[in-house]
Structure 1
Amino acid sequence: MRKIILLMHVSLDGFVTGPNGEMDWIIHTEEEQNYVTDLLNTVDTVLFGCVTYQMMESFWPTVPAHPFWSKSKYHAEHAVWIEKTENCS
Structure 2
Amino acid sequence: MRNSIVITAAGALEWNGQTVTQPQLRHLLTVSTQLPEVPELHLRPDAAAPYRVVDEVLVLTKRANVQKLSFVGNEAYARF
**TM-score normalised by the shorter chain: which range applies?**
0.3 to 0.5
Higher normalized contact order (CA 8 Å, seq sep 6+, divided by chain length): 2
TM-score (norm 1): 0.33
**Structure with the higher strand share, 1 or 2:** 2
TM-score (norm 2): 0.35
